[in-house]
Structure 1
Amino acid sequence: MMMRRSLLVSMLLTVAVSGCGSEPAAEQRATTVDIAEEKPPQAAGEGKKSDAISVSAQNAPRIAYVYEYGYRLPADRIADVQRKQADMCERLGPTQCQILDMKQGSAEGNYASGSLSLAVAAPRARAFGVELGRVAGSAGGSQVSGGISGEDLSKQMVDTEARLRARTVLRDRLMEVLATRKGTVAELVEAERGVAQVNEEIDQARSWLAEMQNRVNFSRVNLTYRAGSPASGGFLAPIRGALGSVSTVLGTIVAILIMLGAVAIPLGAIGLAVRWAMLRLRPPA
């Protein structure tokens, strides 16, 4: 409390000195020294620490991360696991997790597939991926693939911010010209066009910056699900392949016969009708 009063008194003295201009420099230096001596060491240390934190946070790299997880599950459990993981995301709320895409592939025998894409708050994305894996494991599944990739957007964001500041300054100058009405009519019209163009560039820069910042704040988590395999190896694999080829060939032949029948039957009927008409119109011998 005493420190705040001393600071207030010193500020009032400084204003009075600057206003009168008759006080000697020695008294000003004395006042400054008194203020410096009254600052406790802890407050000064905290100020330096906060400055260091703000500088380091500003220069920290801005990386957009993408997490990939692949699971192998029983075909009849894929939909259930997918739904539970989506519910986990919704329970966190839109500020922590958002569902971007959710798909389920058609099941053929023991083979099925699906996918789920989430946007998770970057600080908890990796831990949330571990929780998602536990859900798949409790359903009898296992993680068969995974990966982490990141894109450094620091330079792009810094350049966009600098461009945004420059365009804002230019917009303010043009608005000042329009407000003061200094210049010819042609110059004022050109200034209005310049303001419109600069505003469009500012909106575009803000949109780019917001999109990149959202990619940094929310990491993308891509989940894929597989069950069984479309074909197994071993002795029966070539036989299954040959049977599949035979069925395909037979189906193609039947389709061709159907097409020929669809064309030949009407043409044959027309030919028979023409022949019958010619026989009826032929004069008797």
Structure 2
Amino acid sequence: MSLISPACRDALQHWLDSLGALAGRSENTKSAYQGDVADFLSFMTLHHSERQGLAALERISISDMRAWMADQRGSDVGARSLARKLSAVKSFYRWLAEREGFEPTAVLSTRAPKFTKKLPRPLAEDAARAMLETVELQSTSDWVAARDVAVVTLLYGCGLRISEALSLTGADAPLPQSLRILGKGDKERIVPVIPAAREAVDRYLQLCPHPQSLGAALFRGVRGGPLNPRAIQDVMAKARMQLGLPSTATPHAMRHSFATHLLSAGGDLRAIQELLGHASLSTTQAYTAVDTARLMEVYNRAHPKA
């Protein structure tokens, strides 16, 4: 940030503040955007051999943008990451241009590099069930085993992110028929809780040696503190090795599996979007590609070849 002029630093901060106030962006998203735009502004300072004030930013040319893109590619920034950085820069420039009254065509007309979007990597239904059963076998302590099963059941049975599952507190127990979840960007959603998840949490609570309190974390580590997500990542890594599953069989894959299996069973895409807490339907639509790919696999295996 030392390479950026005070005026640009102030503008960047005002833009970040507006993101939080108007768009409900999460702190992680704002932090990533701040880094992306700050790097861009620092590059322009070095590129022009002088600090870029607001007036200089208005004069950014197509040639400048090409130089920045080339610098990023030369620094081994991948196409996906570069597209994200460009998106952040464009967002900042739209805001700045409206505020300062200039035309940001050179920046906004810059094309993002093409990249293949990664599809979600869900587990097959039998693999997801096997994961739940095998997770329980990874601990010699009954209460830890019950805890791990309860967390993974919430990921698969309710489509929670691991951070959302571990944010539950004693006030949420016993689990009701539906939970009010605060997700990314402080977006709130209501998630139905299946009986299997309620039963798994009840069993964990019966065995947990640490006393529960309304404000404390529902899921506890061995010493009684809040459960670290790394513990669930590790136990799933051990289980997938026993099952011969790929490295993509992670806690987040259980959430992907929740969405994909609902879709396969005829679930409505809009309803699944609400359950997952996606801000955009296009994010949820990635699961239709997974479903289609699986259908084609079955077709190619079963259809008689001429």
TM-score by length of 2: 0.23
Structure with more relative contact order (C-alpha pairs < 8 Å, separation 6 or more): 1
Larger C-alpha radius of gyration, 1 or 2? 1
TM-score by length of 1: 0.24
